[in-house]
Amino acid sequence: MSFSFLTIIYLIASVTFILGLKMLSNPASARKGNAIAATGMVLAIAATIFLYRDDEGKALGNYGWIFGGLLIGATIGTLAAKRVKMTAMPEMVSLFNGMGGACAALISIVEFNHLANKVHASKTISLQDIFPSSTAYGNWTGEMLIILAGLIIGAVSFAGSIIAWGKLNGKIHDLAFRGHHLFNFVLLLIIVVMAGWMIGVFENANSLVFYTIFFMSLLYGVFFVLPIGGADMPVVISLLNSFTGVAAACGGFLYNNKAMLTGGILVGAAGTLLTILMCRAMNRSLINVLIGSFGVSAEQAATKQEQGNYKEISLSDAAVVLSYANKVMIVPGYGLAVAQAQHACHELEKLLTARGVEVKYAIHPVAGRMPGHMNVLLAEADVDYELLLEMEQANEEFPHTDVVLVLGANDVVNPAAKSDTASPIYGMPILDVELARTCIVNKRSMKPGYAGIENELFFRPKTSMLFGDAKKVLQDLAAEIKNL
């Protein structure tokens, strides 16, 4: 009876995962969707702890360890989530994703040792030791295949996510050497061959081979992400997220846990789709992201000559231009997040709206450091979701826009993506802010953006630069508008 009830709860949890993921696609329902999915996960965990019984009818036991781990994990997660800044959210996502990969790899290690413990005095693991009454070699092959898949994918996801985390917070820099991609290919080939050998000739494989695969997978995860440019980290994080989902699904197969299996499949599928969509948003293939180099080095950026003279605009002039416009489009970027200026931006929007100005926001798919970064940031400031336009919608409205206010965005508004075939971002769809009648760009300085390349927009006749911290500039603008 308990097993049937447990299965029903797993089914309910799986449904909540699907509903929650669906609701996450809309910022207006994202918070509720997250709560629904989290509730389903709590149900699945509680049901597993209290209702699960093995073939002999025994419960899990070890409740002290289980609840101790839950308490420690919940405490760390809660404190980290409360203290994290919105600018550091991509790093946290990458770090948490890495923990998921590590858990999946640990599951494979535990299950391998579980098989190994069935061996009596032998140092090697024999098929007959594991399945003494079974002649179905395929049963063992499938189980070992899942264990190794979870181990390899989980270890790669963990190591790669930690490197991505370090790159996002600036602690780790891009590193590549001659023959780097060949080294990665050979390393992956060795891992696959060793895993295949363990599956096919398991009787001659001991724990040393298994743990060698594990450590080589960790090494591959490190060297897999190290050469990828920082501007491509959002794509890499999405890809690693899909890896973690697949690794978790392997754990669901091992334990015959429907909720774990469904959750892993959903994460894997969502991460894969998001990776594909982001590559399309940058007009690049996944292979190009993983093997290519996006942007230029700091030395190259420093030696590149400026394309001309730029002009500045004063706060008072900017306030007049914005106040007497009919339509204003705000383009938020990472600079807005760094300055924590979302609330000041919303105040400016309300001021302009009160003066009869139509204000909307143009959101590029890869603005910020991860997909949806700007949407979450603006939602935190209670900006009306209906005012947020996707890139295609915004590009249709730019020609009819009086003023575009670019706040900390750089590469996603760079016209070089359309005109300079030698540019690393050539072909990447951008926000066509240059089509508006006037463009005001707020930046701290003229330094290149995340991709490390100079922005042609800054030197266009319609563009005026408004230097300073985004939050202070917006607050000063609001004060100037109030005095008009």
Whether 247 is covered by a domain: the verdict is: yes
Look at residues 291, 326, 345 and tell me which one is the last residue of a structural domain.
291
The predicted model gives 238-251 an average pLDDT of 91
Which single residue is written with the structure tokens 């709860």?
9
Q: Which has more confidence, 447 or 182? A: 182
* Shared-domain flag, residues 353 and 437: yes
Q: Which has more confidence, 409 or 295? A: 409
* Shared-domain flag, residues 241 and 217: yes
* Shared-domain flag, residues 268 and 395: no
- pLDDT band of residue 238 (cuts 50, 70, 90) is confident
* Shared-domain flag, residues 235 and 282: yes
Residue (of 319, 464, 326) closest to 406 by Cα position: 464
> Quick check: 433 and 331 in contact, CB under 8 A?
yes
Among 103-112, 252-261, 397-406, whose mean pLDDT is lowest? 252-261
> Quick check: 324 and 480 in contact, CB under 8 A?
no
* Shared-domain flag, residues 194 and 231: yes
* Shared-domain flag, residues 408 and 358: yes
Q: What is the pLDDT of residues 429-445, one digit of tens each?
A: 889 999 999 999 998 87
- The end-to-end CA distance of the chain, in Å, is 74
* Shared-domain flag, residues 233 and 105: yes
pTM: 0.78
Whether 57 is covered by a domain: the verdict is: no
Exposed, middle or buried, 445 (CB in 10 Å: 0-12/13-18/19+)?
A: exposed
Per DSSP, the three-state class of 306 is coil
Q: In what order do the strands lie in the sheet with 388-390?
A: 388-390, 358-363, 327-332, 403-407, 438-443, 463-467
* Shared-domain flag, residues 126 and 243: yes
Whether 51 is covered by a domain: the verdict is: no
What are the residue ranges of helices labelled H in 207-257? 207-225, 233-255
What is the residue-wise DSSP string for 140-180? HHHHHHHHHHHHHHHHHHHHHHHHHHHHHTTSS-----TTH
What is the residue-wise DSSP string for 54-100? -TTS-----HHHHHHHHHHHHHHHHHHHHH--GGGHHHHHHHHHHHH
* Shared-domain flag, residues 343 and 452: yes
* Shared-domain flag, residues 384 and 434: yes
Whether 204 is covered by a domain: the verdict is: yes
> Quick check: 164 and 225 in contact, CB under 8 A?
yes
Whether 145 is covered by a domain: the verdict is: yes
Look at residues 233, 268, 291 and tell me which one is the last residue of a structural domain.
291
Q: Which has more confidence, 126 or 71? A: 71
Active site residues per annotation: 411
Residue 127 has pLDDT above 50, yes or no: no
Residue 297, pLDDT score: 43
Q: What is the pLDDT of residues 4-20, one digit of tens each?
A: 788 899 999 999 999 99
SS (H, E, C) 33-65: HHHHHHHHHHHHHHHHHHHCCCCCCCCCCCHHH
* Shared-domain flag, residues 164 and 124: yes
Residue ranges making up the domain that contains 415: 306-483
Q: What is the pLDDT of residues 183-202, one digit of tens each?
A: 989 999 999 999 888 877 65
- pLDDT band of residue 230 (cuts 50, 70, 90) is low
> Quick check: 473 and 481 in contact, CB under 8 A?
no
Whether 444 is covered by a domain: the verdict is: yes
Residue 148 has pLDDT above 70, yes or no: yes
d(CA 234, CA 436): 29
Residue 403, pLDDT score: 95
> Quick check: 240 and 222 in contact, CB under 8 A?
no
Q: Write the CATH number for 397.
A: 3.40.50.1220
The angle, 0 to 180 degrees and rounded to 10, between the axes of the packed helices 258-281 and 2-23 is 10
The predicted model gives 53-63 an average pLDDT of 78
Cβ neighbours of residue 310 closer than 8 Å, sequence gap 6 or more: 446, 458, 459, 463, 465
Q: Which has more confidence, 326 or 137? A: 326
Look at residues 239, 258, 291 and tell me which one is the last residue of a structural domain.
291
Q: CA dist 66 to 19, 62, 132, 168, Å?
A: 28, 6, 32, 33
Residue 400 has pLDDT above 80, yes or no: yes
* Shared-domain flag, residues 213 and 323: no
Among 82-91, 138-147, 241-250, 346-355, whose mean pLDDT is lowest? 138-147
Q: What is the pLDDT of residues 332-360, one digit of tens each?
A: 988 888 888 999 999 999 999 999 999 99
Among 36-40, 86-90, 446-450, whose mean pLDDT is lowest? 446-450
Sign of CA dihedral 192, 98, 250, 204: positive
In percent, how much of the chain has pLDDT > 90?
Answer: 40
Number of folded domains that form the chain: 2
Whether 188 is covered by a domain: the verdict is: yes
